[in-house]
Chains A and B, each alone.
Chain A
Amino acid sequence: MDKFLDSLKGRPVDASIDYLVSLLKRRQIQGSESCALATAHILLQVVARDKWSDVNQLLERVQTVGRKLVAASPRELTIGNVVRRILGLIRDEAQEDRNDANNDGSSDVLPEPPHSAPLKLDSPPGKPIRPTMASALGSLTRTQSMFNILADPDVAPSFLLDGTPAASSGASTPLAHGLATNASALRSEVLDGIEEIMDEIKQVDDQLCGYSDIVIHPGDYVLVHKPSRTVQRFLTRSKRRFTVLVVTDPATVTAEDPYAILRKSLAANGSTLINVMNTGLMAYMTRVNKVILSARAITATGGITVDAGAAAVARAARASGRTVIVLGGVYKLSPDTQANQDLATEWGDPSRYVNFSDGAMVNNVRVKNAVSEYVPAELIDTYITNLGAHSRDHLHSIITDHYKDAEVSLDLYGKIRK
Chain B
Amino acid sequence: MSEQPNGAPAEGQGAPAPAPQTPQQQPSEKNAAPAKDKPAEKSGEKKLTGAELKAKAKADKAARRAQVKDRKEVSKAEAAVSSSPQQLGPAASEVKGKKGKDGAAAGQGGRPLLPKTVPSAVITEQKVQIPECFSHLSMAKRIPMTQADKDVHPSVLALGQQMATFSIDESIARLKATLLAFKRVIQSYTTPPGHTLARHFTPHVLNPQIEYLTACRPMCFSMGNAIRWLKLQVSKIDMDASEEDAKRDLCLAIDTFVAERITVADEVITEAGSKLIRDGEVILTYGRSSIVERTILLAQAAGTKFSVFVVDDPYERQGQQLAKVLSAEGIQVSYCGDFGGLTNHMRRTTKVLVSAEAMFSNGSLYARAGTCDVALAANELHKQVVVLCETINITERVSTDSLTYNEIDPERGQAGAFRLLFDTTPDKYLQLLVTELGTVQPRSAPDLLRKLEEFN
Bind each other: yes
Is B66 in contact with chain A by the CB < 8 A criterion? no
Query: Once the chains bind, are B373 and A251 in contact (CB under 8 Å)?
Result: no
Bound-state Cα–Cα, A373 to B424, Å: 26
Which of B131, B324, B340 is A274 in contact with, Cβ under 8 Å?
B131
Query: Once the chains bind, are A253 and B315 in contact (CB under 8 Å)?
Result: yes
* Interface membership of chain B positions 313-337, coded 1 if the CB is closer than 8 angstroms to chain A and 0 otherwise: 1110100100110011000111111
For B418, the chain A residues whose CB sits under 8 A away are: 274-277
Query: Once the chains bind, are A316 and B373 in contact (CB under 8 Å)?
Result: yes
Query: Once the chains bind, are A272 and B131 in contact (CB under 8 Å)?
Result: yes
For B369, the chain A residues whose CB sits under 8 A away are: 278-280, 283
Q: A221-B133, A280-B369, A373-B341 are in contact. Are A360 and B328 (CB under 8 A)?
A: yes
Query: Once the chains bind, are A278 and B370 in contact (CB under 8 Å)?
Result: yes
Closest Cβ–Cβ distance, residue A338 to chain B (whole Å) = 13
Bound-state Cα–Cα, A370 to B314, Å: 13
* Interface membership of chain A positions 235-257, coded 1 if the CB is closer than 8 angstroms to chain B and 0 otherwise: 00000000100001011010101
Closest Cβ–Cβ distance, residue B94 to chain A (whole Å) = 30
For A341, the chain B residues whose CB sits under 8 A away are: 343-344
Specify the main secondary structure of chain B where it touches its partner: mixed
Is B402 in contact with chain A by the CB < 8 A criterion? yes
Query: Once the chains bind, are B327 and A311 in contact (CB under 8 Å)?
Result: no
Which of B116, B314, B423 is A283 in contact with, Cβ under 8 Å?
B423
Is B78 in contact with chain A by the CB < 8 A criterion? no
Query: Once the chains bind, are B424 and A283 in contact (CB under 8 Å)?
Result: yes
Closest Cβ–Cβ distance, residue A237 to chain B (whole Å) = 21
Is B371 in contact with chain A by the CB < 8 A criterion? yes
For B377, the chain A residues whose CB sits under 8 A away are: 312, 315
How many residues belonging to A are interface residues under a CB distance threshold of 8 Å? 50
* Interface membership of chain B positions 354-376, coded 1 if the CB is closer than 8 angstroms to chain A and 0 otherwise: 00000000000000011111101
Is B338 in contact with chain A by the CB < 8 A criterion? yes
Which of B320, B342, B370, B412 is A354 in contact with, Cβ under 8 Å?
B320
A278, A309, A360, A369, most chain B CB atoms within 10 A: A278
User: CB within 8 Å of B: which of A367-391?
Assistant: 367-371, 373
Is A273 in contact with chain B by the CB < 8 A criterion? yes
For A286, the chain B residues whose CB sits under 8 A away are: 401-403
For B313, the chain A residues whose CB sits under 8 A away are: 279-280
Query: Once the chains bind, are A280 and B419 in contact (CB under 8 Å)?
Result: no
Closest Cβ–Cβ distance, residue A347 to chain B (whole Å) = 7
User: CB within 8 Å of A: which of B158-216?
Assistant: none
Bound-state Cα–Cα, A36 to B250, Å: 73
Is A342 in contact with chain B by the CB < 8 A criterion? yes
How many residue pairs link A and B with beta carbons under 8 A? The number is: 170
Closest Cβ–Cβ distance, residue A345 to chain B (whole Å) = 5
Bound-state Cα–Cα, A282 to B373, Å: 6
Which of A248, A311, A369 is B337 in contact with, Cβ under 8 Å?
A369
Bound-state Cα–Cα, A58 to B415, Å: 55
For B271, the chain A residues whose CB sits under 8 A away are: none
User: CB within 8 Å of A: which of B396-455?
Assistant: 401-403, 406, 409, 412, 415-420, 422-425
Is B345 in contact with chain A by the CB < 8 A criterion? yes
Query: Once the chains bind, are A243 and B315 in contact (CB under 8 Å)?
Result: no
A273, A280, A319, most chain B CB atoms within 10 A: A280
Is B380 in contact with chain A by the CB < 8 A criterion? yes
Bound-state Cα–Cα, A312 to B425, Å: 15
Query: Once the chains bind, are A366 and B370 in contact (CB under 8 Å)?
Result: no
Is A356 in contact with chain B by the CB < 8 A criterion? no
For A376, the closest partner residue in chain B by CB is B343
Q: A279-B370, A354-B335, A366-B333 are in contact. Are A308 and B327 (CB under 8 A)?
A: no
Is B31 in contact with chain A by the CB < 8 A criterion? no
Query: Once the chains bind, are A371 and B340 in contact (CB under 8 Å)?
Result: yes
For B424, the chain A residues whose CB sits under 8 A away are: 283
For B347, the chain A residues whose CB sits under 8 A away are: 342
Closest Cβ–Cβ distance, residue B275 to chain A (whole Å) = 26
Closest Cβ–Cβ distance, residue A388 to chain B (whole Å) = 30
Is A287 in contact with chain B by the CB < 8 A criterion? yes
Bound-state Cα–Cα, A255 to B422, Å: 23
* Interface membership of chain B positions 88-101, coded 1 if the CB is closer than 8 angstroms to chain A and 0 otherwise: 00000000000000
For A248, the closest partner residue in chain B by CB is B417
Bound-state Cα–Cα, A248 to B416, Å: 10
For B333, the chain A residues whose CB sits under 8 A away are: 364-366
Which of A253, A279, A316, A365 is B376 in contact with, Cβ under 8 Å?
A316
Bound-state Cα–Cα, A365 to B323, Å: 7
For B131, the chain A residues whose CB sits under 8 A away are: 243, 272, 274
Query: Once the chains bind, are B415 and A272 in contact (CB under 8 Å)?
Result: yes
Closest Cβ–Cβ distance, residue B429 to chain A (whole Å) = 9
9 A-B contacts (beta carbon < 8 Å): A250-B315, A251-B337, A275-B417, A283-B423, A308-B338, A309-B339, A312-B339, A341-B343, A368-B336
Which 8 residue pairs spanning A and B have beta carbons closest together? A308-B340, A353-B337, A280-B370, A370-B340, A370-B341, A250-B314, A283-B402, A364-B327
Given contacts A277-B409, A279-B339, 7 further A-B contacts (CB under 8 A): A257-B416, A274-B131, A276-B418, A283-B369, A287-B133, A353-B337, A373-B341
Chain B interface (Cβ within 8 Å of chain A)?
116-118, 131, 133, 310, 312-315, 317, 320, 323-324, 327-328, 332-345, 347, 369-374, 376-377, 380, 401-403, 406, 409, 412, 415-420, 422-425
